């Protein structure tokens, strides 16, 4: 009698309409249940039966209900699936293909099948790219994906690199070149500087050498520096096929032990590279540095030239010689003189920047030593030595000169900018500083001069905790097509042109600088290219981080590390634990709450101040040095769990 009853149907509609709904992101747990995260402060429980309809990371609308005096949600509508295009590992069971997505919180296999355009044969353990086609919250009975491409076979030592590049949809191989790409197209009106003793200083194994230097000192104490930069735009025409490929890649992608070049290797590592005793076309800049360390901007000029580098020097050899250690000596008296004057210029500029801009703190880098098959032999600590600083200061001078030259002559280019603090974060920074009796105003630190003063004060304090908190309030670097300040460097404008083999933005600036030299109409870069470069830079950084995490988990699984104690620096405090970096090798580890203190209610992870409290007493803070041992290494999620040694 109730079947097809219009009153009952209307009643159901009314009840359905009155049921409250919430929108949020699904967060799963290892125990089958999950939460719908509505915002930072609010989340709702999703029972295990309801979690079967969704995946971790899905953005959904859910019905808000009450069961046994507890608010729960029931997924109703999919707004945006977490999975779309994804990478995963294949499992073959009873001639059926399954794929498990390569994400930490996605543990369930998804039924899959090759797409009609995919001809690859898949076996268990292979890695593949897939596209999610069916979702239970869309009314489908199952989750289902189509395989579009095999990435790599099981047990291949290159899995960490290939899978990571596929995840971020980044190129895995160098671009192919055509015969016309290797032909020099700009050879007229170049100054012949082949007699000058240009030198290059790089890592011993560097092949894509893009900068050479020649320096002289005048009787009045001024220093004249010629910076010569490799000239790939003399081979690659604007708008050509290879130019479009370079614009899409935007950068050479440097990964641990491996790189994917922006340009074909026969260009970047041979024809354009400034190898010793090779006749090479360059874009050059002549710069005068005054006795006080400042740049004489009114005398800067750019020109096209031919050079022949007289020697390829290494950072370690040059540093050893300057520091009077080791057995290496410069090959000639002339090259010895080049190194000595470059060293004087470096010290002069460091002194100038310390007083007038922002000076970098010395940092430590970690390099994976890999076999030719991709196996990890060791992890090497590399410190910035004096030769690194010599080249760094020379390149900063060159880039400041380019920014000034472009601004005066065109008013546009590709500039590196950094805006310091936005207004809200400036207020937070000022309040934080005041708690440490450091008195600054918002008006002061939002100016370039005031920001530089703040950074110099913090450098003199050498308090890593204060420094880390202030950096959290700072904005991120960006690109701009018009001049703008770079607060983090302390300069009113900054535009790079010294790595055109590796960075497309530098190729753009090369063409603009050449247009001024040749008195031709420049092609103004549009906003789209700026956004594309920024996005590609972000993806390259993430790929480098992910490959490193993968290699660290492989490396630290070795027996000798199981009971080893490591010194670590706390880098972040999250809602559920501590993140730290192992000082011995650079690996990032996570210390979960239960390994810090057994009673969760007594623990307080305060992200706002970067501190951990137990029963109201501060026990850990960002920048603290602690000792840890490894508790668990999870290769499937590339995570390293550590515990503090009390």
Question: Is beta strand 611-614 parallel, antiparallel or unpaired with respect to 617-621?
Answer: antiparallel
Helix (H, G, I), strand (E, B) or coil at 385: coil
Facing residues of 590 across strands?
579, 641
Tens digit of pLDDT for each residue in 173-212? 999 988 888 899 987 789 999 999 999 999 999 999 999 9
CATH of 85-156, one of 3.30.565.10, 2.60.40.10, 2.40.50.640, 3.30.70.260: 2.40.50.640
Active site residue 315: yes
Tens digit of pLDDT for each residue in 294-339? 999 999 999 999 999 999 999 999 999 999 998 999 999 999 999 9
- Secondary structure (DSSP) of 267-333: IIIIISS--TT-EEEEEEEEEEE-TTS-B-GGG-EEEEEEEE-SEEEEHHHHHHHHTT-SS---SSH
Q: Would you tell me how many other CB atoms lie within 10 Å of the CB of residue 220? A: 7
Q: Would you say 198 and 334 are in contact if contact means Cβ atoms under 8 Å apart?
A: no
d(CA 24, CA 642): 31
Active site residue 211: yes
Mean pLDDT to the nearest integer, 61-83 = 91
Mean pLDDT to the nearest integer, 280-293 = 97
Helix (H, G, I), strand (E, B) or coil at 3: coil
Q: Determine the straight-line distance between the first and last CA of the chain, rounded to whole angstroms.
A: 72
Confidence of residue 490 (pLDDT cuts 50, 70, 90): very high
Active site residue 349: no
Q: Could you tell me how many residues make up the chain?
A: 646
Of 147, 145, 92, 142, residue with least CA distance to 114: 147
For the chain, the farthest-separated pair of C-alpha atoms sits apart, in whole angstroms, at 109
Helices (H) and strands (E) in the chain, counts: 15, 31
The one catalytic residue in 58, 102, 202, 231 is 202
Q: Is 80 exceeded by the pLDDT of residue 5?
A: no
Q: Would you say 503 and 250 are in contact if contact means Cβ atoms under 8 Å apart?
A: yes
The one catalytic residue in 126, 181, 208, 231 is 208
The residues spanned by each domain of the chain are 19-80, 85-156, 179-417+487-546, 423-475, 557-644
d(CA 261, CA 238): 19
Q: What is the pLDDT of residue 79?
A: 95
Active site residue 202: yes
Domain covering 19-80, topology: OB fold (Dihydrolipoamide Acetyltransferase, E2P) (2.40.50)
Helix axes 527-556, 504-518, angle to 10 degrees: 140
Mean pLDDT to the nearest integer, 578-604 = 95
Contacts with 573 (C-beta within 8 Å, 6 or more apart), sequence order: 579, 605, 606, 607, 610, 611, 612, 620, 621, 622
* Rounded percentage of the chain residues whose pLDDT exceeds 90: 85
Q: Is 70 exceeded by the pLDDT of residue 6?
A: no
Confidence of residue 68 (pLDDT cuts 50, 70, 90): confident
* 175 phi, psi to nearest 5 deg: -70, 150
d(CA 371, CA 554): 14
Q: Is 80 exceeded by the pLDDT of residue 14?
A: no
Active site residue 502: yes
Helix (H, G, I), strand (E, B) or coil at 2: coil
Q: Is the dihedral of CA 636, 639, 640, 646 positive or negative?
A: negative
CATH of 557-644, one of 1.10.3720.10, 1.10.357.140, 3.90.950.20, 2.40.50.140: 2.40.50.140
d(CA 296, CA 409): 16
d(CA 362, CA 493): 23
Of 558, 580, 581, residue with least CA distance to 635: 558
The one catalytic residue in 211, 243, 320, 546 is 211
* 522 phi, psi to nearest 5 deg: -80, 155
Q: Would you say 550 and 320 are in contact if contact means Cβ atoms under 8 Å apart?
A: no
Q: What is the pLDDT of residue 179?
A: 83
d(CA 439, CA 433): 7
Q: Would you say 409 and 416 are in contact if contact means Cβ atoms under 8 Å apart?
A: no
> How confident is the prediction for the chain on average, in pLDDT?
93
Q: What is the pLDDT of residue 177?
A: 87
d(CA 192, CA 187): 11
Q: What is the pLDDT of residue 2?
A: 52
Tens digit of pLDDT for each residue in 116-160? 999 999 999 999 999 999 999 998 999 999 999 999 999 899 999
Task: Classify residue 155 by its DSSP letter.
Answer: T
**Which ranges of 325-463 would DSSP assign to H, the alpha helix?**
333-356, 386-409, 423-434, 442-445, 448-461
Q: How distant, in Å, are the alpha carbons of 48, 258, 351, 544 from that of 372?
A: 47, 10, 43, 19
Q: Would you tell me how many other CB atoms lie within 10 Å of the CB of residue 115? A: 15
CA dihedral 342, 345, 350, 355 (to 10 degrees): -170
- Secondary structure (DSSP) of 539-554: HHHHHHHHHHHHHHHH
Helix (H, G, I), strand (E, B) or coil at 521: coil
Q: What is the pLDDT of residue 12?
A: 53
| Domain 19-80 identical in fold to domain 85-156 | yes
d(CA 384, CA 396): 16
Confidence of residue 105 (pLDDT cuts 50, 70, 90): confident
Q: What is the pLDDT of residue 519?
A: 94
Q: What is the pLDDT of residue 142?
A: 94
The one catalytic residue in 58, 102, 126, 210 is 210
Confidence of residue 8 (pLDDT cuts 50, 70, 90): low
Tens digit of pLDDT for each residue in 369-425? 998 888 899 999 999 999 999 999 999 999 999 999 999 999 999 999 999 999 999
Q: What is the pLDDT of residue 622?
A: 96
Q: Would you say 126 and 91 are in contact if contact means Cβ atoms under 8 Å apart?
A: no
Q: How distant, in Å, are the alpha carbons of 5, 209, 306, 359 from that of 520?
A: 80, 28, 21, 38
Q: Kindly report the pTM of this predicted structure.
A: 0.91
d(CA 161, CA 97): 24
The one catalytic residue in 102, 235, 249, 315 is 315
Q: What is the pLDDT of residue 617?
A: 96
């Amino acid at each position: 009698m109730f079947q097809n009853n219009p009153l009952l149907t209307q009643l159901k509609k009314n009840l359905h309409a009155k049921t409250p709904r919430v929108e949020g992101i699904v967060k799963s747990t290892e125990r089958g249940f999950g939460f719908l995260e509505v915002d930072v402060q609010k989340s709702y429980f999703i029972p295990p039966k309801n979690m079967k309809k969704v995946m971790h990371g899905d953005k959904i609308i859910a019905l808000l209900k009450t069961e046994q005096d507890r608010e729960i949600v029931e997924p109703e509508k999919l707004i945006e699936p977490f999975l779309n295009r994804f990478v995963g590992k294949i499992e073959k069971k009873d001639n059926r293909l399954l794929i498990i997505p390569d994400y930490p919180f996605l543990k369930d296999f998804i039924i899959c099948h090759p797409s009609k355009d995919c001809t690859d044969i898949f076996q268990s353990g292979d890695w593949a790219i897939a596209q999610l086609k069916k979702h239970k919250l869309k009314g489908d009975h199952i989750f289902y994906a189509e395989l579009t491409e095999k990435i790599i076979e099981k047990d291949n030592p290159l899995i960490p690199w290939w899978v990571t590049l596929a995840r971020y949809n980044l190129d895995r191989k160098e671009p192919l070149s055509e015969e016309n790409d290797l032909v020099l197209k700009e050879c007229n009106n170049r100054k012949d500087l082949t007699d000058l003793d240009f030198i290059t200083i790089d890592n011993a194994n560097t092949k894509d050498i893009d900068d050479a230097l020649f320096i002289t000192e005048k009787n009045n104490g001024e220093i004249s520096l010629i910076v010569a930069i490799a000239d790939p735009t003399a081979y690659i025409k604007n708008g050509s096929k290879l130019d479009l490929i370079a614009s899409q890649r935007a950068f050479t992608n440097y990964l641990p032990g491996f790189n994917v070049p922006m340009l074909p290797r026969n260009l970047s590592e041979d024809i354009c590279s400034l190898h010793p005793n090779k006749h090479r076309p360059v874009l050059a800049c002549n710069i005068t540095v005054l006795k006080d360390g400042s740049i004489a901007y009114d005398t800067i000029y750019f020109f096209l030239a031919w050079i022949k580098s007289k020697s390829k020097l290494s950072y370690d050899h040059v540093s050893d010689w300057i520091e009077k250690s080791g057995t290496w000596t410069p090959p000639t008296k002339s090259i010895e003189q080049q190194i000595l004057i470059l060293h004087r210029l470096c010290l002069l500029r460091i002194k100038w920047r310390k007083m007038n801009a922002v000076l970098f703190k010395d940092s430590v880098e970690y390099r994976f030593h890999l076999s030719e098959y991709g196996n990890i032999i060791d992890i090497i600590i590399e410190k910035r030595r004096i030769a690194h600083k010599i080249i760094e200061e020379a390149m900063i001078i060159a880039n400041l000169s380019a920014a000034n030259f472009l601004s005066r002559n065109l008013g546009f280019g590709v500039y590196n900018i950094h805006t310091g603090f936005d207004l809200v974060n400036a207020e937070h920074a000022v309040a934080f500083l005041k708690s440490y009796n450091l008195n600054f105003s918002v008006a002061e630190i939002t100016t370039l001069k005031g920001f530089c003063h703040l950074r110099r004060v913090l450098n003199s304090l050498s308090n890593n905790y204060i420094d880390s908190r202030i950096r959290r309030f700072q904005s991120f670097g960006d690109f701009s097509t018009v001049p703008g300040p770079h607060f983090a460097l302390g300069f009113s404008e900054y535009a790079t042109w010294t790595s055109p083999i590796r960075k497309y933005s530098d190729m753009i600036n090369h063409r603009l600088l050449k247009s001024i030299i040749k008195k031709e109409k420049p092609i103004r870069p549009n906003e789209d290219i700026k956004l594309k470069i920024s996005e590609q830079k972000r993806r390259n950084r993430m790929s480098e981080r992910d490959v490193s995490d993968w290699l660290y988990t492989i490396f630290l699984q070795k027996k000798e590390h199981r009971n080893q104690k490591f010194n670590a620096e706390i880098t972040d405090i999250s809602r559920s634990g501590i993140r730290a970096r192992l000082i011995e090798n650079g690996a990032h580890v996570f210390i979960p709450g239960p390994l810090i203190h057994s009673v969760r209610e007594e623990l307080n992870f305060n992200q706002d101040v970067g501190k951990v409290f137990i029963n109201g007493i501060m026990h850990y803070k960002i920048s603290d040095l602690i000792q840890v041992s490894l508790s668990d290494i999870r290769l499937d999620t590339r995570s390293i769990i550590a515990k503090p040694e009390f």
